């Protein structure tokens, strides 16, 4: 919280990165438009340079925040990869139930039929 010249407290505004990017791009487009219609190259380039210098810090903020966001996403992703898979409740319940299918060894008749079919 900063204080304004009149002594009132001023709370800094918070802005989403995408909104800040949008505003920077809008300012760039506006300056490009002025440069196209202004016949005085020296004046338009001076204005463009001043504007560019005035928002350089905002561009740096956007880059820094995007970088931080990407690192957080990557960190979260790799943390999930490094953890062993947790069994779900349904997997646990199914694996604890006794099997209802019976495993019978093949009967002698089936073995004989299979052998005679090969001959």
- Tell me the domain boundaries of the chain: 13-82
pLDDT at residue 119 is higher than 60:
no
In tens, the pLDDT along 23-51 reads 989 988 888 888 888 888 788 788 878 88
**pTM score, whole prediction:** 0.46
Which pLDDT belongs to residue 44?
79
In tens, the pLDDT along 70-109 reads 999 999 998 888 888 777 665 555 555 555 655 555 555 5
| Residues forming beta bridges with residue 10, ordered by sequence position | 2
Q: How confident is the model at residue 64 (pLDDT cuts 50, 70, 90)?
A: very high
- How many other CB atoms are found less than 10 A from the CB of residue 52? 13
Which residues contact residue 51 at a Cβ distance below 8 angstroms, ignoring those fewer than 6 apart? Answer: 27, 31
Q: How confident is the model at residue 22 (pLDDT cuts 50, 70, 90)?
A: very high
Sign of CA dihedral 107, 110, 114, 115: positive
- How many other CB atoms are found less than 10 A from the CB of residue 68? 11
- C-alpha torsion 50→54→55→58, nearest 10: 160
Q: Retrieve residue 63's tokens.
A: 């880059």
Whole-Å CA distances, 13 to 2, 23, 47, 83: 11, 14, 26, 39
């Amino acid at each position: 919280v900063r204080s304004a010249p009149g002594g009132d407290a001023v709370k800094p505004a918070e802005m989403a990165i995408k909104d800040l990017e949008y505003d920077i791009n809008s300012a760039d487009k506006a300056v490009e438009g002025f440069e196209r219609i202004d016949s005085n190259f020296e004046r338009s380039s001076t204005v463009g340079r001043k504007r560019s210098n005035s928002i350089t810090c905002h561009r740096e903020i956007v880059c820094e925040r995007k970088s931080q966001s990407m690192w957080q996403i990557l960190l979260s992703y790799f943390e999930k990869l490094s953890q062993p898979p947790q069994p779900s409740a349904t997997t646990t319940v199914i694996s604890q139930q006794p099997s209802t299918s019976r495993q019978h060894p093949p009967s002698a008749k089936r073995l004989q039929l299979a052998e005679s079919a090969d001959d």
